[in-house]
Amino acid sequence: MEPPSAPAAPAPVPFAEPTPLGLLGLAVGCAALLPVAFGWSLTAPAFRTAATYCLLFGAGCQLLAGLMALANKNLLGGTLFTTFAFNWVVNHQVLSGVAQGQLPDPHVVLAVDLCFLVIFAVLTFAFGFFSKLLFLFLLDIDVLFLCRILKELTHSTAFTVPIAVATVLLAAIALYLAFAILLNHAAARTVLPIPGPLFKPGPTPTQ
Q: Pick the residue with more confidence: 30 or 204?
A: 30
Range of the domain at 113: 19-187
**206: in domain:** no
For the entire predicted model, the pTM comes to 0.90
**200: in domain:** no
**9: in domain:** no
Q: Please determine, for residue 207, whether its predicted confidence score (pLDDT) is greater than 50.
A: no
Contact of 26 with 56, CB cutoff 8 Å: no
**73: in domain:** yes
Q: pLDDT, tens digit, for every residue of 95-109?
A: 999 999 999 999 999
Contact of 135 with 124, CB cutoff 8 Å: yes
**197: in domain:** no
Q: How many structural domains comprise the chain?
A: 1
Distance (Å, rounded) from C-alpha 83 to C-alpha 155?
Answer: 27
Contact of 96 with 53, CB cutoff 8 Å: no
Q: pLDDT, tens digit, for every residue of 78-133?
A: 999 999 999 999 999 999 999 999 999 999 999 999 999 999 999 999 999 999 99
Distance (Å, rounded) from C-alpha 27 to C-alpha 192?
Answer: 18
**137: in domain:** yes
Contact of 37 with 160, CB cutoff 8 Å: yes
**2: in domain:** no
Tell me if residue 105 falls in helix, strand or coil.
Answer: coil
